[in-house]
Chain A
Amino acid sequence: EVQLVESGEGLVQPGSSMKLSCVASGFTFSNYGMNWIRQAPKKGLEWIALIYYDSSSKYYADSVKGRFTISRDNSKNTLYLEMNSLRSEDTAMYYCAKRDFDYWGQGVMVTVSS
Protein backbone atom coordinates (compact mmCIF):
# COMPACT_ATOMS: atom_id res chain seq x y z
CA GLU A 1 0.00 0.00 0.00
CA VAL A 2 1.37 3.40 -0.98
CA GLN A 3 1.75 5.77 1.94
CA LEU A 4 3.03 9.32 2.13
CA VAL A 5 3.42 10.74 5.62
CA GLU A 6 4.33 14.39 6.11
CA SER A 7 5.79 15.87 9.26
CA GLY A 8 7.16 19.18 10.50
CA GLU A 9 4.01 21.18 11.04
CA GLY A 10 4.00 24.16 13.32
CA LEU A 11 3.62 27.85 14.05
CA VAL A 12 6.46 30.18 13.08
CA GLN A 13 7.04 33.92 12.93
CA PRO A 14 7.24 35.85 9.66
CA GLY A 15 10.75 35.80 8.23
CA SER A 16 11.68 32.51 9.84
CA SER A 17 12.42 29.10 8.35
CA MET A 18 10.89 25.68 8.52
CA LYS A 19 11.52 22.26 6.97
CA LEU A 20 8.86 19.72 6.06
CA SER A 21 9.45 16.02 5.45
CA CYS A 22 7.46 13.41 3.58
CA VAL A 23 8.29 9.75 4.11
CA ALA A 24 7.19 7.43 1.33
CA SER A 25 6.48 3.71 1.43
CA GLY A 26 4.77 1.08 -0.67
CA PHE A 27 6.45 2.00 -3.97
CA THR A 28 9.96 2.45 -5.36
CA PHE A 29 10.46 6.05 -4.27
CA SER A 30 13.67 6.50 -6.27
CA ASN A 31 11.77 5.89 -9.53
CA TYR A 32 9.30 8.75 -9.20
CA GLY A 33 9.24 12.50 -9.23
CA MET A 34 7.48 14.12 -6.28
CA ASN A 35 5.41 17.23 -5.77
CA TRP A 36 4.52 19.62 -2.97
CA ILE A 37 1.08 21.24 -3.07
CA ARG A 38 -0.43 23.64 -0.56
CA GLN A 39 -3.89 24.83 0.38
CA ALA A 40 -4.47 28.04 2.29
CA PRO A 41 -7.37 27.98 4.77
CA LYS A 42 -10.71 27.88 2.93
CA LYS A 43 -8.90 28.23 -0.40
CA GLY A 44 -8.06 26.04 -3.39
CA LEU A 45 -5.06 23.90 -4.24
CA GLU A 46 -1.76 25.42 -5.36
CA TRP A 47 1.10 23.35 -6.79
CA ILE A 48 4.38 24.72 -5.46
CA ALA A 49 7.27 22.41 -6.32
CA LEU A 50 8.37 19.32 -8.25
CA ILE A 51 11.57 17.30 -8.05
CA TYR A 52 12.60 14.65 -10.54
CA TYR A 53 13.23 11.08 -9.38
CA ASP A 54 17.00 11.63 -9.42
CA SER A 55 16.98 15.28 -8.26
CA SER A 56 18.29 16.31 -11.69
CA SER A 57 15.57 18.92 -12.13
CA LYS A 58 13.50 21.01 -9.76
CA TYR A 59 10.64 23.35 -10.57
CA TYR A 60 8.90 25.93 -8.42
CA ALA A 61 5.82 28.10 -8.50
CA ASP A 62 6.61 31.80 -8.82
CA SER A 63 5.06 32.36 -5.39
CA VAL A 64 7.83 30.38 -3.65
CA LYS A 65 10.76 30.59 -6.07
CA GLY A 66 13.92 31.74 -4.35
CA ARG A 67 12.50 31.09 -0.87
CA PHE A 68 11.60 27.38 -0.88
CA THR A 69 13.84 24.45 -1.79
CA ILE A 70 12.63 20.97 -2.64
CA SER A 71 15.03 18.07 -2.11
CA ARG A 72 14.99 14.33 -1.55
CA ASP A 73 17.03 11.53 -0.04
CA ASN A 74 16.31 8.35 -1.96
CA SER A 75 18.23 6.27 0.59
CA LYS A 76 15.70 7.36 3.21
CA ASN A 77 12.62 7.40 0.93
CA THR A 78 12.11 10.98 2.06
CA LEU A 79 11.09 14.18 0.35
CA TYR A 80 11.80 17.58 1.89
CA LEU A 81 10.61 21.15 1.57
CA GLU A 82 12.83 23.80 3.12
CA MET A 83 10.96 27.06 3.52
CA ASN A 84 12.80 30.32 4.19
CA SER A 85 11.67 33.93 4.59
CA LEU A 86 8.21 32.73 5.48
CA ARG A 87 5.30 35.13 5.05
CA SER A 88 1.78 35.16 6.42
CA GLU A 89 0.52 34.19 2.97
CA ASP A 90 2.48 30.92 3.24
CA THR A 91 0.04 29.81 5.93
CA ALA A 92 -1.49 26.65 4.51
CA MET A 93 -1.86 22.91 4.66
CA TYR A 94 1.10 21.38 2.81
CA TYR A 95 0.73 18.08 0.97
CA CYS A 96 3.28 15.90 -0.74
CA ALA A 97 2.08 13.91 -3.73
CA LYS A 98 3.58 11.34 -6.05
CA ARG A 99 4.57 12.47 -9.55
CA ASP A 100 1.18 11.96 -11.23
CA PHE A 101 -0.80 13.24 -8.21
CA ASP A 102 -2.18 9.72 -7.80
CA TYR A 103 -1.19 9.47 -4.14
CA TRP A 104 -1.23 12.24 -1.53
CA GLY A 105 -0.14 12.52 2.06
CA GLN A 106 -2.44 13.58 4.86
CA GLY A 107 -0.95 17.06 4.93
CA VAL A 108 0.71 19.20 7.59
CA MET A 109 -0.36 22.66 8.71
CA VAL A 110 2.11 25.52 8.55
CA THR A 111 1.05 28.73 10.26
CA VAL A 112 3.09 31.90 9.83
CA SER A 113 2.05 34.51 12.35
CA SER A 114 3.54 36.91 14.86
Chain B
Amino acid sequence: EIVLTQSPTTMAASPGEKVTITCRASSSVSYMHWFQQKSGTSPKPWIYDTSKLASGVPDRFSGSGSGTSYSLTISSMEAEDAATYYCLQRTSYPPTFGGGTKLELK
Protein backbone atom coordinates (compact mmCIF):
# COMPACT_ATOMS: atom_id res chain seq x y z
CA GLU B 1 0.00 0.00 0.00
CA ILE B 2 1.29 3.46 -0.90
CA VAL B 3 1.31 5.78 2.09
CA LEU B 4 0.71 9.48 1.46
CA THR B 5 2.13 11.96 3.98
CA GLN B 6 0.81 15.51 3.87
CA SER B 7 2.53 18.49 5.40
CA PRO B 8 1.81 20.58 7.23
CA THR B 9 -1.14 18.98 9.04
CA THR B 10 -2.48 22.39 10.00
CA MET B 11 -1.60 25.91 8.99
CA ALA B 12 -2.97 29.42 9.00
CA ALA B 13 -2.49 31.96 6.24
CA SER B 14 -3.31 35.64 5.94
CA PRO B 15 -5.32 37.02 3.03
CA GLY B 16 -3.01 37.45 0.04
CA GLU B 17 -0.39 35.04 1.38
CA LYS B 18 1.01 32.25 -0.78
CA VAL B 19 0.21 28.74 0.51
CA THR B 20 1.88 25.45 -0.37
CA ILE B 21 0.70 22.04 0.80
CA THR B 22 2.89 19.02 0.15
CA CYS B 23 2.00 15.37 -0.35
CA ARG B 24 4.77 12.78 -0.31
CA ALA B 25 4.20 9.21 -1.46
CA SER B 26 6.02 6.16 -0.11
CA SER B 27 6.44 4.92 -3.70
CA SER B 28 6.29 6.64 -7.04
CA VAL B 29 2.83 7.45 -8.39
CA SER B 30 1.84 8.62 -11.85
CA TYR B 31 -0.54 11.37 -10.77
CA MET B 32 -1.82 13.03 -7.64
CA HIS B 33 -5.36 14.24 -7.05
CA TRP B 34 -6.55 16.79 -4.52
CA PHE B 35 -9.84 17.35 -2.75
CA GLN B 36 -11.21 20.25 -0.74
CA GLN B 37 -13.52 19.55 2.17
CA LYS B 38 -15.36 22.07 4.29
CA SER B 39 -17.04 21.17 7.55
CA GLY B 40 -20.20 19.12 7.17
CA THR B 41 -19.85 18.59 3.42
CA SER B 42 -18.50 15.86 1.19
CA PRO B 43 -15.04 16.20 -0.37
CA LYS B 44 -14.96 18.12 -3.63
CA PRO B 45 -12.58 17.19 -6.43
CA TRP B 46 -10.22 20.12 -6.66
CA ILE B 47 -7.16 19.24 -8.71
CA TYR B 48 -6.88 16.08 -10.80
CA ASP B 49 -4.07 14.45 -12.74
CA THR B 50 -1.56 16.46 -10.69
CA SER B 51 -2.17 19.87 -12.24
CA LYS B 52 -5.64 20.12 -13.82
CA LEU B 53 -8.17 22.26 -12.00
CA ALA B 54 -11.65 20.83 -11.52
CA SER B 55 -14.54 22.82 -12.87
CA GLY B 56 -15.13 26.01 -10.92
CA VAL B 57 -11.81 26.00 -9.07
CA PRO B 58 -10.23 29.47 -9.05
CA ASP B 59 -7.02 29.83 -11.02
CA ARG B 60 -5.13 30.99 -7.94
CA PHE B 61 -4.88 27.25 -7.26
CA SER B 62 -2.26 25.13 -8.97
CA GLY B 63 -0.83 21.66 -8.62
CA SER B 64 2.56 20.24 -9.50
CA GLY B 65 4.92 17.40 -8.83
CA SER B 66 6.05 14.01 -9.98
CA GLY B 67 7.23 10.68 -8.66
CA THR B 68 6.92 10.80 -4.89
CA SER B 69 6.52 14.53 -4.27
CA TYR B 70 3.48 16.64 -5.14
CA SER B 71 2.13 19.97 -4.04
CA LEU B 72 -0.95 22.15 -4.10
CA THR B 73 -0.31 25.90 -4.17
CA ILE B 74 -2.57 28.87 -3.62
CA SER B 75 -0.98 31.98 -5.09
CA SER B 76 -2.93 34.38 -2.90
CA MET B 77 -4.99 33.13 0.04
CA GLU B 78 -8.64 34.14 0.20
CA ALA B 79 -11.12 33.57 3.01
CA GLU B 80 -13.11 31.02 1.01
CA ASP B 81 -10.00 28.83 0.70
CA ALA B 82 -10.09 27.91 4.39
CA ALA B 83 -10.79 24.17 4.37
CA THR B 84 -9.14 20.79 4.71
CA TYR B 85 -7.28 19.51 1.68
CA TYR B 86 -6.60 15.84 0.96
CA CYS B 87 -4.36 14.23 -1.63
CA LEU B 88 -5.27 10.91 -3.27
CA GLN B 89 -3.30 8.44 -5.33
CA ARG B 90 -5.06 5.85 -7.46
CA THR B 91 -2.03 4.72 -9.44
CA SER B 92 -1.95 1.48 -7.50
CA TYR B 93 -4.53 -0.36 -5.45
CA PRO B 94 -5.66 0.23 -2.86
CA PRO B 95 -6.29 3.92 -3.51
CA THR B 96 -4.95 5.89 -0.56
CA PHE B 97 -5.54 9.35 0.83
CA GLY B 98 -3.19 11.63 2.67
CA GLY B 99 -4.05 12.52 6.23
CA GLY B 100 -5.27 15.98 5.31
CA THR B 101 -4.06 19.56 5.74
CA LYS B 102 -6.33 21.93 7.60
CA LEU B 103 -5.90 25.44 6.24
CA GLU B 104 -7.25 28.28 8.35
CA LEU B 105 -7.53 31.99 7.72
CA LYS B 106 -5.25 34.08 9.92
Contacts and interface: CB of A to CB of B under 8 A. Distances in A.
B94 A101 contact: no
Contact of A61 (B41, B43, B94, B98): B94
A44 B95 contact: no
Bin the interface of chain B by size: 20 to 34
B45 A105 contact: no
Contacts of B100: 44-45
A106 interface: yes
B interface SS class: loop
Interface residues of A, number: 17
B65 interface: no
B45 A101 contact: yes
A44 B3 CA distance: 13
Contact of B42 (A35, A44, A59, A104): A104
Contacts of B93: 50, 59
Contact of B88 (A59, A95, A101, A103): A101
Interface of A: 35, 44-47, 50, 59, 61, 95, 100-107
Interface of B: 33, 35, 41-45, 48, 54, 86, 88, 90, 93-100
